[in-house]
C-alpha cells in the first residue's frame, strides 16, 4: 500500500489553516516520502518570513517566488508537498502540480476561523473581519481548488489521523490502471 504511488509526488492544496502541513506530515510518514512545505522553502531561500516578503516586496513578488519553488520541487520524486493556499491562482502552477497527485483539503470556513483566530503569520488575513475574508477568498478560489484530482471534505470533528485514513482509502481510485506489459 505504501508503494502504491510509485514515487509520484502528492500536492496538498487548500485554504490557509485547512491542515495541509499537519496532514501532509502524517501522509509523508505513511508513504515513506519526504515532506516539503512551499512556504518554508520560500522562507529558507529568502531568509525572510512570509509576512516580511509581503510587506517589503509585495504579493506579486511572493507569487513569483512561489512559482519558482514549485517548479523546482516538481522535479523531485517521493515527496508530499504542502503548498501555500494561493498557489492555485497562477495558471502556470497547474502544469507543475499535475506532475503529481493533487489533493484538496476542503475545510469549512467556520473551522478555519477557529484555527486562525490568533494567527499573525498570514498577511492576507491581518485586517478586517476574519470570517468575511475567508469566505471571500473561498468564493474566489473554490472553482480552482475543485480542479484537484482528489477532494477531501473535512468535517469539524475529524482528527488528522482520520483524515489521513480517508486519503489513503481514496488514493487507489485516482490512480491510472497499470498497463499489463504481457498484453501484446
Ligand atoms: C496564502 C497562504 C499562505 C502563504 C501566504 C498566502 C494564500 O500559506 O502562502 O500567506 O494566499 O492563501 P498557507 O496556506 O500554508 O497558510
| Residue labelled with grid coordinates 484538496 | 104
Find the 8 Cα to ligand 1 centroid distance in Å.
24
pLDDT tens readout for residues 124-161: 999 999 999 999 999 999 999 999 999 999 999 999 99
Distances (CA, A) of 151 to 27, 72, 118: 15, 25, 27
Residue 183 pLDDT greater than 80, yes or no = no
Find the 121 Cα to ligand 1 centroid distance in Å.
9
* Predicted structure pTM score: 0.95
Q: Which of 155, 150, 154 is nearest to 171 (CA)?
A: 150
pLDDT tens readout for residues 161-180: 999 999 999 999 988 776 55
State whether the beta carbon of 138 lies less than 6 angstroms from ligand 1. no
Separation of alpha carbons 73 and 96, rounded Å: 9
Residue 1 pLDDT greater than 70, yes or no = no
Q: Which of 70, 4, 78 is nearest to 38 (CA)?
A: 70
SS3 at position 35: strand
Amino acid at each position: 500500500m505504501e508503494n502504491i504511488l510509485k514515487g509520484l509526488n502528492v500536492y496538498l492544496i487548500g485554504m490557509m489553516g485547512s491542515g495541509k502541513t499537519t496532514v501532509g506530515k502524517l501522509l509523508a510518514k505513511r508513504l515513506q516520502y519526504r515532506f516539503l512545505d512551499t512556504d518554508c522553502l520560500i522562507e529558507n531561500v529568502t531568509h525572510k518570513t512570509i509576512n516580511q516578503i509581503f510587506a517589503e516586496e509585495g504579493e506579486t513578488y511572493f507569487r513569483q517566488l512561489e512559482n519558482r519553488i514549485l517548479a523546482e520541487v516538481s522535479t523531485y520524486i517521493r515527496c508530499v508537498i504542502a503548498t501555500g493556499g494561493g498557489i492555485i491562482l497562477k495558471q502556470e502552477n497547474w502544469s507543475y502540480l499535475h506532475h503529481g497527485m493533487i489533493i484538496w483539503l476542503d475545510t469549512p470556513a467556520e473551522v478555519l476561523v477557529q484555527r486562525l483566530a490568533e494567527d499573525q503569520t498570514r498577511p492576507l488575513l491581518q485586517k478586517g473581519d476574519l470570517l468575511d475574508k475567508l469566505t471571500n477568498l473561498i468564493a474566489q478560489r473554490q472553482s480552482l481548488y475543485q480542479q484537484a484530482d482528489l477532494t477531501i471534505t473535512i468535517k469539524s470533528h475529524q482528527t488528522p489521523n482520520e483524515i489521513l485514513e480517508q486519503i489513503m482509502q481514496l488514493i487507489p481510485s485516482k490512480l491510472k490502471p497499470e498497463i499489463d506489459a504481457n498484453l501484446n
